[in-house]
Structure 1
Amino acid sequence: MHDVNKTTVTEFVLLGFTGFDTFEKILFYVAILAYVVCIFGNIAIIALVRLEPSLHTPMYFFLTVFAVLKILFVSVTIPKLLALIFQTTETISMVGCFGQMYALNALGETECFLLALMVFDRYLAIIHPLHYSTIMTHAFCCELAALPWMAGFIISVMPTLSTILLEYCGPNQINQFFCDLAPLQNLACSDSFFSNLATQLAAVLSVVFPFLTIVAFYTHIINTILNIRSAEGKHKAFSTCSSHLIVACLFYCTVIAVYIRPKGSQEDKFLALMYTVVTPPLNPFIYTLRNRKVKNSLRKLLRRLLKGNLMLSS
Protein backbone atom coordinates (compact mmCIF):
# COMPACT_ATOMS: atom_id res chain seq x y z
CA MET A 1 0.00 0.00 0.00
CA HIS A 2 2.88 2.41 0.63
CA ASP A 3 3.79 2.33 -3.10
CA VAL A 4 0.38 3.46 -4.37
CA ASN A 5 1.16 7.20 -4.46
CA LYS A 6 4.63 6.79 -5.95
CA THR A 7 5.19 8.15 -9.46
CA THR A 8 7.99 7.16 -11.77
CA VAL A 9 10.28 9.97 -12.88
CA THR A 10 10.51 10.20 -16.68
CA GLU A 11 12.76 13.23 -16.95
CA PHE A 12 15.08 15.35 -14.84
CA VAL A 13 15.43 19.10 -14.41
CA LEU A 14 18.97 20.51 -14.45
CA LEU A 15 19.09 23.49 -12.12
CA GLY A 16 22.46 24.68 -13.39
CA PHE A 17 23.33 28.04 -11.88
CA THR A 18 19.80 29.23 -11.27
CA GLY A 19 19.82 32.20 -8.91
CA PHE A 20 23.22 33.43 -10.09
CA ASP A 21 21.92 35.70 -12.87
CA THR A 22 25.00 37.92 -13.26
CA PHE A 23 27.32 34.92 -13.04
CA GLU A 24 25.27 33.07 -15.69
CA LYS A 25 25.63 35.94 -18.17
CA ILE A 26 29.40 35.98 -17.76
CA LEU A 27 29.58 32.17 -17.79
CA PHE A 28 27.65 32.01 -21.08
CA TYR A 29 30.32 33.95 -22.98
CA VAL A 30 33.16 32.26 -21.11
CA ALA A 31 31.72 28.83 -21.98
CA ILE A 32 31.34 29.72 -25.67
CA LEU A 33 34.90 31.03 -25.82
CA ALA A 34 36.23 27.99 -23.95
CA TYR A 35 34.41 25.58 -26.27
CA VAL A 36 35.60 27.27 -29.47
CA VAL A 37 39.19 27.56 -28.22
CA CYS A 38 39.23 23.94 -27.04
CA ILE A 39 37.81 22.54 -30.29
CA PHE A 40 39.95 24.54 -32.70
CA GLY A 41 43.04 24.43 -30.47
CA ASN A 42 43.00 20.65 -30.28
CA ILE A 43 42.18 20.28 -33.98
CA ALA A 44 45.21 22.48 -34.69
CA ILE A 45 47.39 20.20 -32.56
CA ILE A 46 46.12 17.10 -34.39
CA ALA A 47 46.71 18.71 -37.79
CA LEU A 48 50.16 19.99 -36.85
CA VAL A 49 51.34 16.59 -35.60
CA ARG A 50 50.03 14.83 -38.70
CA LEU A 51 51.47 17.36 -41.16
CA GLU A 52 54.90 17.86 -39.55
CA PRO A 53 57.21 14.80 -39.95
CA SER A 54 59.46 15.89 -37.07
CA LEU A 55 56.52 15.39 -34.69
CA HIS A 56 55.88 11.78 -35.74
CA THR A 57 57.07 10.42 -32.40
CA PRO A 58 55.26 8.50 -29.61
CA MET A 59 55.08 11.59 -27.40
CA TYR A 60 53.14 13.60 -29.98
CA PHE A 61 51.10 10.59 -31.07
CA PHE A 62 49.74 10.34 -27.52
CA LEU A 63 49.22 14.11 -27.55
CA THR A 64 46.90 13.77 -30.58
CA VAL A 65 44.97 11.02 -28.78
CA PHE A 66 44.66 13.36 -25.79
CA ALA A 67 43.45 16.15 -28.10
CA VAL A 68 40.70 13.92 -29.53
CA LEU A 69 39.65 13.00 -25.99
CA LYS A 70 39.38 16.66 -24.92
CA ILE A 71 37.22 17.49 -27.94
CA LEU A 72 34.80 14.71 -27.02
CA PHE A 73 34.91 15.59 -23.31
CA VAL A 74 33.89 19.24 -23.69
CA SER A 75 31.23 18.29 -26.26
CA VAL A 76 29.44 16.21 -23.63
CA THR A 77 28.88 19.07 -21.17
CA ILE A 78 29.40 22.58 -22.59
CA PRO A 79 26.60 22.53 -25.24
CA LYS A 80 24.08 21.50 -22.55
CA LEU A 81 25.44 24.19 -20.22
CA LEU A 82 24.95 26.82 -22.92
CA ALA A 83 21.38 25.62 -23.53
CA LEU A 84 20.64 25.84 -19.80
CA ILE A 85 21.98 29.37 -19.52
CA PHE A 86 20.17 30.45 -22.67
CA GLN A 87 17.03 28.87 -21.16
CA THR A 88 16.09 26.97 -24.30
CA THR A 89 15.67 23.84 -22.20
CA GLU A 90 16.11 22.80 -18.60
CA THR A 91 14.79 19.27 -18.77
CA ILE A 92 16.58 16.16 -19.93
CA SER A 93 15.09 12.72 -20.50
CA MET A 94 16.17 9.79 -18.36
CA VAL A 95 17.84 8.15 -21.35
CA GLY A 96 19.63 11.37 -22.26
CA CYS A 97 20.62 11.97 -18.64
CA PHE A 98 22.06 8.52 -18.06
CA GLY A 99 23.73 8.61 -21.49
CA GLN A 100 25.43 11.91 -20.66
CA MET A 101 26.44 10.58 -17.25
CA TYR A 102 28.04 7.46 -18.74
CA ALA A 103 29.85 9.38 -21.51
CA LEU A 104 31.16 12.01 -19.09
CA ASN A 105 32.48 9.49 -16.58
CA ALA A 106 33.89 7.17 -19.24
CA LEU A 107 35.79 10.01 -20.93
CA GLY A 108 36.95 11.39 -17.58
CA GLU A 109 38.26 8.00 -16.50
CA THR A 110 39.90 7.55 -19.90
CA GLU A 111 41.71 10.84 -19.37
CA CYS A 112 43.03 9.66 -16.00
CA PHE A 113 44.51 6.52 -17.57
CA LEU A 114 45.78 8.42 -20.62
CA LEU A 115 47.63 10.92 -18.44
CA ALA A 116 49.29 7.98 -16.67
CA LEU A 117 50.19 6.46 -20.04
CA MET A 118 51.73 9.72 -21.24
CA VAL A 119 54.00 9.94 -18.19
CA PHE A 120 54.97 6.29 -18.76
CA ASP A 121 56.13 7.33 -22.24
CA ARG A 122 58.24 10.15 -20.76
CA TYR A 123 59.56 7.73 -18.13
CA LEU A 124 60.87 5.37 -20.80
CA ALA A 125 62.33 8.25 -22.84
CA ILE A 126 64.27 9.65 -19.87
CA ILE A 127 65.14 6.52 -17.90
CA HIS A 128 65.79 4.16 -20.85
CA PRO A 129 66.70 6.43 -23.78
CA LEU A 130 68.81 3.81 -25.59
CA HIS A 131 65.95 1.29 -25.73
CA TYR A 132 63.14 3.82 -26.19
CA SER A 133 62.87 3.68 -29.99
CA THR A 134 62.90 -0.12 -30.08
CA ILE A 135 60.22 -0.41 -27.38
CA MET A 136 57.87 2.37 -28.48
CA THR A 137 57.11 1.23 -32.01
CA HIS A 138 54.05 2.64 -33.79
CA ALA A 139 52.16 -0.64 -33.42
CA PHE A 140 52.92 -0.78 -29.69
CA CYS A 141 51.89 2.87 -29.25
CA CYS A 142 48.53 2.14 -30.91
CA GLU A 143 47.98 -0.80 -28.57
CA LEU A 144 48.89 1.31 -25.55
CA ALA A 145 46.62 4.16 -26.70
CA ALA A 146 43.64 1.78 -26.85
CA LEU A 147 44.06 0.68 -23.22
CA PRO A 148 42.87 3.92 -21.52
CA TRP A 149 39.72 3.97 -23.67
CA MET A 150 38.94 0.34 -22.86
CA ALA A 151 39.60 0.82 -19.15
CA GLY A 152 37.60 4.05 -18.92
CA PHE A 153 34.52 2.79 -20.76
CA ILE A 154 34.51 -0.58 -18.96
CA ILE A 155 35.04 0.70 -15.40
CA SER A 156 32.37 3.40 -15.79
CA VAL A 157 29.76 0.70 -16.54
CA MET A 158 29.72 -0.40 -12.89
CA PRO A 159 28.66 2.89 -11.21
CA THR A 160 26.43 3.83 -14.16
CA LEU A 161 24.40 0.62 -14.08
CA SER A 162 24.10 0.67 -10.29
CA THR A 163 22.77 4.25 -10.53
CA ILE A 164 20.35 3.45 -13.37
CA LEU A 165 18.88 0.56 -11.37
CA LEU A 166 17.96 2.87 -8.49
CA GLU A 167 14.30 3.82 -8.07
CA TYR A 168 13.41 7.41 -8.97
CA CYS A 169 9.94 8.34 -7.80
CA GLY A 170 10.18 11.71 -6.07
CA PRO A 171 12.13 14.93 -6.72
CA ASN A 172 13.65 15.19 -10.19
CA GLN A 173 15.71 18.39 -9.85
CA ILE A 174 19.47 17.89 -10.25
CA ASN A 175 21.58 20.54 -8.56
CA GLN A 176 24.19 20.49 -11.33
CA PHE A 177 24.56 21.64 -14.96
CA PHE A 178 25.01 18.09 -16.24
CA CYS A 179 23.91 14.63 -15.17
CA ASP A 180 26.39 13.11 -12.75
CA LEU A 181 26.52 10.19 -10.38
CA ALA A 182 26.29 11.89 -6.98
CA PRO A 183 23.34 14.23 -7.74
CA LEU A 184 21.34 11.36 -9.24
CA GLN A 185 22.12 9.03 -6.35
CA ASN A 186 20.89 11.72 -3.95
CA LEU A 187 17.53 11.82 -5.78
CA ALA A 188 16.90 8.07 -5.57
CA CYS A 189 14.01 6.77 -3.48
CA SER A 190 15.72 3.42 -2.96
CA ASP A 191 18.87 2.74 -0.96
CA SER A 192 21.89 4.04 -2.86
CA PHE A 193 24.51 2.31 -0.70
CA PHE A 194 25.71 -0.10 -3.39
CA SER A 195 25.64 2.64 -6.03
CA ASN A 196 27.77 4.89 -3.82
CA LEU A 197 30.10 1.97 -3.14
CA ALA A 198 30.45 1.28 -6.87
CA THR A 199 31.21 4.97 -7.46
CA GLN A 200 33.89 4.97 -4.78
CA LEU A 201 35.45 1.78 -6.15
CA ALA A 202 35.46 3.17 -9.70
CA ALA A 203 37.08 6.36 -8.39
CA VAL A 204 39.84 4.39 -6.71
CA LEU A 205 40.50 2.33 -9.85
CA SER A 206 40.34 5.15 -12.38
CA VAL A 207 41.44 8.23 -10.40
CA VAL A 208 43.51 7.21 -7.39
CA PHE A 209 45.44 4.37 -9.04
CA PRO A 210 46.52 6.41 -12.13
CA PHE A 211 47.32 9.36 -9.86
CA LEU A 212 49.61 7.27 -7.66
CA THR A 213 51.18 5.80 -10.81
CA ILE A 214 51.93 9.31 -12.10
CA VAL A 215 53.43 10.32 -8.74
CA ALA A 216 55.64 7.21 -8.70
CA PHE A 217 56.87 7.77 -12.28
CA TYR A 218 57.57 11.46 -11.70
CA THR A 219 59.44 10.71 -8.47
CA HIS A 220 61.76 8.43 -10.43
CA ILE A 221 62.01 10.89 -13.33
CA ILE A 222 62.87 13.85 -11.07
CA ASN A 223 65.50 11.82 -9.22
CA THR A 224 67.05 10.87 -12.56
CA ILE A 225 67.01 14.47 -13.84
CA LEU A 226 68.67 15.73 -10.64
CA ASN A 227 71.52 13.28 -11.21
CA ILE A 228 72.23 14.71 -14.68
CA ARG A 229 75.41 16.76 -14.41
CA SER A 230 74.93 19.37 -17.11
CA ALA A 231 72.38 22.15 -16.62
CA GLU A 232 71.43 21.94 -20.30
CA GLY A 233 70.72 18.23 -19.96
CA LYS A 234 68.54 18.83 -16.91
CA HIS A 235 66.58 21.57 -18.68
CA LYS A 236 66.06 19.44 -21.80
CA ALA A 237 64.91 16.43 -19.79
CA PHE A 238 62.52 18.43 -17.61
CA SER A 239 61.09 20.40 -20.55
CA THR A 240 59.85 17.19 -22.16
CA CYS A 241 57.52 16.44 -19.24
CA SER A 242 56.77 19.84 -17.65
CA SER A 243 53.70 20.48 -19.82
CA HIS A 244 52.24 17.09 -18.97
CA LEU A 245 52.89 17.70 -15.28
CA ILE A 246 50.97 21.01 -15.36
CA VAL A 247 47.99 19.47 -17.21
CA ALA A 248 47.90 16.48 -14.85
CA CYS A 249 47.95 18.73 -11.77
CA LEU A 250 45.15 20.94 -13.09
CA PHE A 251 42.97 17.93 -13.90
CA TYR A 252 43.55 15.82 -10.80
CA CYS A 253 43.22 18.63 -8.26
CA THR A 254 39.60 19.30 -9.24
CA VAL A 255 38.59 15.72 -10.09
CA ILE A 256 39.83 14.30 -6.80
CA ALA A 257 38.09 17.09 -4.89
CA VAL A 258 34.75 16.17 -6.50
CA TYR A 259 34.75 12.42 -7.09
CA ILE A 260 36.58 11.03 -4.09
CA ARG A 261 33.85 12.55 -1.94
CA PRO A 262 30.67 12.36 -4.11
CA LYS A 263 28.16 14.25 -1.95
CA GLY A 264 26.55 16.46 -4.60
CA SER A 265 27.23 19.64 -2.64
CA GLN A 266 26.84 23.19 -3.96
CA GLU A 267 30.63 23.57 -4.14
CA ASP A 268 30.89 20.59 -6.49
CA LYS A 269 29.02 22.57 -9.15
CA PHE A 270 31.70 25.26 -9.23
CA LEU A 271 34.53 22.75 -8.98
CA ALA A 272 33.03 20.92 -11.95
CA LEU A 273 33.32 24.12 -13.99
CA MET A 274 37.09 23.94 -13.54
CA TYR A 275 37.61 20.61 -15.29
CA THR A 276 34.73 20.89 -17.78
CA VAL A 277 35.04 24.55 -18.90
CA VAL A 278 38.16 26.29 -17.55
CA THR A 279 41.05 23.81 -17.91
CA PRO A 280 40.24 22.09 -21.28
CA PRO A 281 40.97 25.20 -23.44
CA LEU A 282 44.22 25.75 -21.53
CA ASN A 283 45.66 22.38 -22.59
CA PRO A 284 46.50 23.30 -26.22
CA PHE A 285 48.34 26.42 -25.04
CA ILE A 286 50.21 24.55 -22.32
CA TYR A 287 51.39 21.88 -24.76
CA THR A 288 52.34 24.35 -27.51
CA LEU A 289 53.56 27.55 -25.86
CA ARG A 290 55.77 25.61 -23.42
CA ASN A 291 57.15 23.27 -26.09
CA ARG A 292 59.95 24.66 -28.25
CA LYS A 293 59.76 21.81 -30.76
CA VAL A 294 56.04 22.35 -31.32
CA LYS A 295 56.52 26.12 -31.72
CA ASN A 296 59.34 25.60 -34.24
CA SER A 297 57.25 23.05 -36.16
CA LEU A 298 54.32 25.47 -36.20
CA ARG A 299 56.54 28.24 -37.61
CA LYS A 300 57.89 25.90 -40.29
CA LEU A 301 54.40 24.80 -41.27
CA LEU A 302 53.10 28.39 -41.42
CA ARG A 303 56.06 29.45 -43.57
CA ARG A 304 55.45 26.48 -45.86
CA LEU A 305 51.76 27.30 -46.19
CA LEU A 306 52.49 31.01 -46.73
CA LYS A 307 55.07 30.19 -49.40
CA GLY A 308 52.59 27.88 -51.13
CA ASN A 309 49.89 30.55 -51.13
CA LEU A 310 52.30 33.15 -52.57
CA MET A 311 53.28 30.75 -55.35
CA LEU A 312 49.62 30.08 -56.19
CA SER A 313 48.76 33.77 -56.20
CA SER A 314 51.67 34.55 -58.52
Structure 2
Amino acid sequence: MSTSIKQTASSTTNPTTTPAAMPVKTVVITGASSGFGRLACKAFQKAGWNVAATMRSPERENELNTLRNVQLFPLDVCDRQSIESTITSVMETFGRIDCLINNAGYGAFGFLEEASEEEIMQQMNTNFLGVINTTQAVLPYMRKQKEGSIINVTSLAGLMGMPMLSLYSASKFAVEGLTESLSHELAEFGIRVHLIEPGAFKTGFSSAYSFNEGQATPELNRERGVYKKFLDNMLAEPPKPFGYGDPQDVASLMLKIAQTPKSPLRNVIGKDGKSLMLTQKLLGKKRLLKVIGNAAMPKLSA
Protein backbone atom coordinates (compact mmCIF):
# COMPACT_ATOMS: atom_id res chain seq x y z
CA MET A 1 0.00 0.00 0.00
CA SER A 2 1.39 3.42 -0.94
CA THR A 3 2.06 6.13 1.62
CA SER A 4 -0.70 8.33 0.21
CA ILE A 5 -3.28 5.58 0.63
CA LYS A 6 -2.13 4.90 4.23
CA GLN A 7 -2.53 8.57 5.08
CA THR A 8 -6.03 8.63 3.62
CA ALA A 9 -7.08 5.55 5.57
CA SER A 10 -5.69 6.82 8.90
CA SER A 11 -7.65 10.07 8.63
CA THR A 12 -10.94 8.29 7.93
CA THR A 13 -13.20 7.05 10.71
CA ASN A 14 -14.33 4.09 8.61
CA PRO A 15 -11.54 3.01 6.24
CA THR A 16 -13.61 0.17 4.79
CA THR A 17 -15.81 2.70 2.99
CA THR A 18 -12.88 4.12 0.99
CA PRO A 19 -13.75 3.42 -2.68
CA ALA A 20 -11.33 1.29 -4.68
CA ALA A 21 -9.57 2.93 -7.60
CA MET A 22 -11.45 2.47 -10.85
CA PRO A 23 -9.54 0.37 -13.39
CA VAL A 24 -8.15 2.22 -16.39
CA LYS A 25 -10.45 1.62 -19.35
CA THR A 26 -9.21 -0.03 -22.52
CA VAL A 27 -10.23 0.58 -26.12
CA VAL A 28 -9.46 -1.65 -29.10
CA ILE A 29 -9.31 0.23 -32.42
CA THR A 30 -9.08 -1.48 -35.81
CA GLY A 31 -7.52 0.30 -38.77
CA ALA A 32 -5.38 2.39 -36.42
CA SER A 33 -2.56 3.09 -38.87
CA SER A 34 -4.28 6.05 -40.55
CA GLY A 35 -7.37 8.26 -40.77
CA PHE A 36 -10.04 8.13 -38.10
CA GLY A 37 -8.41 5.18 -36.36
CA ARG A 38 -5.08 6.91 -35.86
CA LEU A 39 -6.70 10.08 -34.52
CA ALA A 40 -8.96 8.03 -32.24
CA CYS A 41 -5.88 6.36 -30.70
CA LYS A 42 -4.50 9.77 -29.79
CA ALA A 43 -7.84 11.05 -28.48
CA PHE A 44 -8.38 8.06 -26.17
CA GLN A 45 -4.74 8.09 -25.04
CA LYS A 46 -4.96 11.76 -24.16
CA ALA A 47 -8.14 11.03 -22.17
CA GLY A 48 -6.27 8.47 -20.06
CA TRP A 49 -7.43 5.23 -21.66
CA ASN A 50 -5.30 2.21 -22.45
CA VAL A 51 -5.24 1.92 -26.24
CA ALA A 52 -4.86 -1.30 -28.22
CA ALA A 53 -4.00 0.09 -31.64
CA THR A 54 -4.45 -2.68 -34.19
CA MET A 55 -3.18 -2.70 -37.76
CA ARG A 56 -1.92 -5.17 -40.34
CA SER A 57 1.72 -3.98 -40.18
CA PRO A 58 2.53 -2.55 -36.72
CA GLU A 59 6.26 -2.84 -37.46
CA ARG A 60 5.89 0.14 -39.82
CA GLU A 61 4.43 2.41 -37.13
CA ASN A 62 6.83 4.90 -35.51
CA GLU A 63 4.58 7.35 -33.67
CA LEU A 64 1.73 5.64 -31.83
CA ASN A 65 4.15 3.19 -30.22
CA THR A 66 5.89 6.12 -28.50
CA LEU A 67 2.75 7.19 -26.64
CA ARG A 68 2.16 6.19 -23.04
CA ASN A 69 -0.52 3.50 -22.54
CA VAL A 70 -0.65 2.73 -26.28
CA GLN A 71 0.24 -0.79 -27.37
CA LEU A 72 0.41 -1.92 -31.00
CA PHE A 73 -1.05 -5.26 -32.06
CA PRO A 74 -1.05 -7.00 -35.45
CA LEU A 75 -4.55 -7.62 -36.73
CA ASP A 76 -6.07 -8.43 -40.10
CA VAL A 77 -9.86 -8.13 -39.94
CA CYS A 78 -10.10 -10.70 -42.75
CA ASP A 79 -8.23 -13.31 -40.69
CA ARG A 80 -10.27 -14.76 -37.84
CA GLN A 81 -7.24 -16.45 -36.25
CA SER A 82 -5.41 -13.11 -36.26
CA ILE A 83 -8.35 -11.45 -34.54
CA GLU A 84 -8.73 -14.08 -31.83
CA SER A 85 -4.98 -14.10 -31.13
CA THR A 86 -4.86 -10.32 -30.86
CA ILE A 87 -7.89 -10.03 -28.58
CA THR A 88 -6.35 -12.67 -26.31
CA SER A 89 -3.12 -10.64 -26.23
CA VAL A 90 -5.03 -7.44 -25.44
CA MET A 91 -6.70 -9.13 -22.47
CA GLU A 92 -3.35 -10.46 -21.25
CA THR A 93 -1.84 -6.98 -21.56
CA PHE A 94 -4.59 -4.77 -20.16
CA GLY A 95 -6.95 -7.16 -18.37
CA ARG A 96 -10.16 -5.78 -19.85
CA ILE A 97 -11.79 -4.35 -22.98
CA ASP A 98 -14.28 -1.54 -22.46
CA CYS A 99 -14.75 -0.32 -26.01
CA LEU A 100 -14.28 -1.78 -29.48
CA ILE A 101 -14.13 0.58 -32.45
CA ASN A 102 -14.64 -1.22 -35.76
CA ASN A 103 -13.03 1.34 -38.02
CA ALA A 104 -11.04 -0.69 -40.59
CA GLY A 105 -12.42 -0.58 -44.12
CA TYR A 106 -12.04 0.67 -47.67
CA GLY A 107 -14.21 1.65 -50.62
CA ALA A 108 -14.72 -0.38 -53.80
CA PHE A 109 -15.89 1.63 -56.82
CA GLY A 110 -17.07 0.51 -60.23
CA PHE A 111 -19.71 -1.37 -62.15
CA LEU A 112 -21.02 -4.38 -60.23
CA GLU A 113 -21.05 -6.36 -63.47
CA GLU A 114 -17.27 -6.07 -63.69
CA ALA A 115 -16.48 -7.05 -60.10
CA SER A 116 -14.80 -10.43 -59.73
CA GLU A 117 -15.75 -12.87 -56.99
CA GLU A 118 -12.44 -12.09 -55.29
CA GLU A 119 -13.15 -8.34 -55.31
CA ILE A 120 -16.67 -8.88 -53.99
CA MET A 121 -15.48 -11.10 -51.16
CA GLN A 122 -12.61 -8.76 -50.28
CA GLN A 123 -15.01 -5.83 -49.87
CA MET A 124 -17.52 -7.78 -47.79
CA ASN A 125 -14.85 -9.57 -45.74
CA THR A 126 -13.14 -6.31 -44.81
CA ASN A 127 -16.11 -4.03 -44.24
CA PHE A 128 -18.73 -6.46 -42.94
CA LEU A 129 -17.42 -9.87 -41.91
CA GLY A 130 -14.45 -8.18 -40.25
CA VAL A 131 -16.87 -6.29 -38.01
CA ILE A 132 -18.64 -9.54 -37.13
CA ASN A 133 -15.39 -11.35 -36.36
CA THR A 134 -13.91 -8.67 -34.10
CA THR A 135 -17.24 -8.18 -32.35
CA GLN A 136 -17.62 -11.90 -31.67
CA ALA A 137 -14.09 -11.99 -30.28
CA VAL A 138 -14.67 -9.26 -27.66
CA LEU A 139 -18.23 -10.10 -26.64
CA PRO A 140 -17.41 -12.88 -24.14
CA TYR A 141 -15.17 -10.50 -22.19
CA MET A 142 -17.65 -7.62 -22.24
CA ARG A 143 -20.47 -9.94 -21.24
CA LYS A 144 -18.51 -11.16 -18.20
CA GLN A 145 -17.79 -7.52 -17.26
CA LYS A 146 -21.50 -6.75 -17.77
CA GLU A 147 -20.53 -3.58 -19.58
CA GLY A 148 -18.85 -2.29 -22.71
CA SER A 149 -19.47 -0.36 -25.89
CA ILE A 150 -19.02 -1.16 -29.57
CA ILE A 151 -18.74 1.63 -32.13
CA ASN A 152 -19.09 0.70 -35.80
CA VAL A 153 -17.97 3.20 -38.42
CA THR A 154 -20.11 3.17 -41.55
CA SER A 155 -20.79 6.02 -43.99
CA LEU A 156 -23.49 8.07 -45.65
CA ALA A 157 -23.23 5.28 -48.23
CA GLY A 158 -24.66 3.02 -45.54
CA LEU A 159 -27.78 5.16 -45.37
CA MET A 160 -28.44 5.58 -49.08
CA GLY A 161 -27.10 3.91 -52.19
CA MET A 162 -24.40 5.95 -53.90
CA PRO A 163 -23.59 5.80 -57.64
CA MET A 164 -20.93 3.24 -58.60
CA LEU A 165 -20.61 2.19 -54.95
CA SER A 166 -22.86 -0.86 -55.03
CA LEU A 167 -20.43 -3.11 -53.15
CA TYR A 168 -19.33 -0.45 -50.66
CA SER A 169 -22.91 0.61 -49.95
CA ALA A 170 -23.94 -3.04 -49.58
CA SER A 171 -21.20 -3.63 -47.01
CA LYS A 172 -22.10 -0.51 -45.02
CA PHE A 173 -25.85 -1.16 -45.21
CA ALA A 174 -25.07 -4.61 -43.76
CA VAL A 175 -23.18 -3.08 -40.83
CA GLU A 176 -26.08 -0.70 -40.20
CA GLY A 177 -28.54 -3.59 -39.95
CA LEU A 178 -26.15 -5.66 -37.86
CA THR A 179 -25.64 -2.82 -35.40
CA GLU A 180 -29.34 -2.06 -35.07
CA SER A 181 -30.09 -5.71 -34.25
CA LEU A 182 -27.17 -5.94 -31.82
CA SER A 183 -28.42 -2.88 -29.94
CA HIS A 184 -31.40 -5.01 -28.85
CA GLU A 185 -29.52 -8.29 -28.47
CA LEU A 186 -26.76 -6.95 -26.21
CA ALA A 187 -28.68 -4.48 -24.04
CA GLU A 188 -29.45 -7.19 -21.49
CA PHE A 189 -25.72 -7.66 -20.91
CA GLY A 190 -24.97 -3.96 -20.40
CA ILE A 191 -23.25 -3.66 -23.78
CA ARG A 192 -23.99 -0.55 -25.85
CA VAL A 193 -23.75 -0.51 -29.65
CA HIS A 194 -23.45 2.63 -31.79
CA LEU A 195 -22.95 3.78 -35.36
CA ILE A 196 -20.88 6.68 -36.64
CA GLU A 197 -21.87 7.71 -40.17
CA PRO A 198 -19.35 10.19 -41.58
CA GLY A 199 -19.76 12.25 -44.70
CA ALA A 200 -16.73 13.46 -46.65
CA PHE A 201 -13.67 13.82 -44.43
CA LYS A 202 -10.04 14.26 -45.45
CA THR A 203 -8.63 10.94 -44.25
CA GLY A 204 -6.80 9.59 -47.28
CA PHE A 205 -9.85 7.62 -48.41
CA SER A 206 -9.54 9.08 -51.90
CA SER A 207 -6.16 7.38 -52.31
CA ALA A 208 -7.19 4.12 -50.63
CA TYR A 209 -10.16 3.07 -52.72
CA SER A 210 -10.09 0.29 -55.29
CA PHE A 211 -11.77 0.15 -58.69
CA ASN A 212 -13.40 -3.18 -59.45
CA GLU A 213 -12.63 -4.48 -62.91
CA GLY A 214 -11.59 -8.05 -62.26
CA GLN A 215 -14.23 -9.13 -64.77
CA ALA A 216 -13.84 -6.15 -67.10
CA THR A 217 -15.80 -6.42 -70.31
CA PRO A 218 -14.85 -4.55 -73.51
CA GLU A 219 -18.48 -3.51 -73.88
CA LEU A 220 -18.06 -1.16 -70.91
CA ASN A 221 -14.65 0.25 -71.85
CA ARG A 222 -16.01 3.66 -72.87
CA GLU A 223 -18.34 4.01 -69.89
CA ARG A 224 -15.65 2.85 -67.47
CA GLY A 225 -13.16 5.32 -68.90
CA VAL A 226 -15.64 8.18 -68.61
CA TYR A 227 -16.44 7.34 -65.00
CA LYS A 228 -12.82 6.85 -63.91
CA LYS A 229 -11.89 10.24 -65.36
CA PHE A 230 -14.93 11.81 -63.69
CA LEU A 231 -14.00 10.15 -60.39
CA ASP A 232 -10.37 11.33 -60.55
CA ASN A 233 -11.52 14.90 -61.21
CA MET A 234 -14.10 14.73 -58.42
CA LEU A 235 -11.60 13.43 -55.84
CA ALA A 236 -8.93 15.93 -56.84
CA GLU A 237 -10.71 18.81 -55.10
CA PRO A 238 -12.83 19.21 -51.95
CA PRO A 239 -16.48 18.24 -52.45
CA LYS A 240 -18.91 21.12 -52.92
CA PRO A 241 -20.50 22.98 -51.23
CA PHE A 242 -19.17 21.99 -47.79
CA GLY A 243 -15.66 20.75 -48.53
CA TYR A 244 -14.02 18.14 -46.31
CA GLY A 245 -14.83 17.84 -42.64
CA ASP A 246 -12.15 17.77 -39.94
CA PRO A 247 -11.42 14.09 -39.14
CA GLN A 248 -10.52 15.11 -35.59
CA ASP A 249 -14.25 15.72 -35.06
CA VAL A 250 -14.92 12.04 -35.77
CA ALA A 251 -12.23 10.91 -33.33
CA SER A 252 -13.68 13.23 -30.66
CA LEU A 253 -17.15 11.82 -31.31
CA MET A 254 -15.83 8.28 -30.83
CA LEU A 255 -14.44 9.24 -27.43
CA LYS A 256 -17.63 11.05 -26.46
CA ILE A 257 -19.81 8.04 -27.34
CA ALA A 258 -17.51 5.67 -25.43
CA GLN A 259 -17.75 7.87 -22.33
CA THR A 260 -21.46 8.74 -22.57
CA PRO A 261 -23.84 5.87 -21.66
CA LYS A 262 -26.91 7.50 -23.22
CA SER A 263 -25.37 8.17 -26.64
CA PRO A 264 -27.75 7.60 -29.58
CA LEU A 265 -27.56 4.52 -31.78
CA ARG A 266 -26.98 6.51 -34.99
CA ASN A 267 -24.59 9.45 -35.26
CA VAL A 268 -24.36 11.23 -38.61
CA ILE A 269 -21.39 13.59 -38.65
CA GLY A 270 -20.29 16.23 -41.14
CA LYS A 271 -22.05 19.22 -42.65
CA ASP A 272 -22.73 17.30 -45.85
CA GLY A 273 -24.25 14.36 -44.00
CA LYS A 274 -26.50 16.46 -41.82
CA SER A 275 -27.56 18.48 -44.84
CA LEU A 276 -28.45 15.29 -46.75
CA MET A 277 -30.51 13.99 -43.84
CA LEU A 278 -32.41 17.28 -43.65
CA THR A 279 -32.91 17.30 -47.43
CA GLN A 280 -34.26 13.75 -47.27
CA LYS A 281 -36.87 14.87 -44.73
CA LEU A 282 -37.89 17.74 -46.96
CA LEU A 283 -37.81 16.03 -50.37
CA GLY A 284 -38.22 12.38 -49.51
CA LYS A 285 -35.63 9.70 -50.23
CA LYS A 286 -36.74 9.02 -53.81
CA ARG A 287 -36.22 12.61 -54.95
CA LEU A 288 -32.99 12.93 -52.98
CA LEU A 289 -31.52 9.84 -54.63
CA LYS A 290 -32.35 11.33 -58.02
CA VAL A 291 -30.52 14.53 -57.11
CA ILE A 292 -27.50 12.53 -55.91
CA GLY A 293 -27.47 10.44 -59.07
CA ASN A 294 -27.51 13.51 -61.29
CA ALA A 295 -24.72 15.16 -59.32
CA ALA A 296 -22.46 12.16 -58.73
CA MET A 297 -22.65 10.35 -62.07
CA PRO A 298 -21.24 11.52 -65.38
CA LYS A 299 -23.51 11.51 -68.43
CA LEU A 300 -22.38 8.19 -69.88
CA SER A 301 -24.63 8.61 -72.91
CA ALA A 302 -22.97 11.90 -73.92
Larger RCO, structures 1/2 (Cα 8 Å, 6+ apart): 1
TM-score w.r.t. length of structure 1: 0.26
Say which structure is richer in strand: 2
Say which structure is richer in helix: 1
TM-score w.r.t. length of structure 2: 0.27
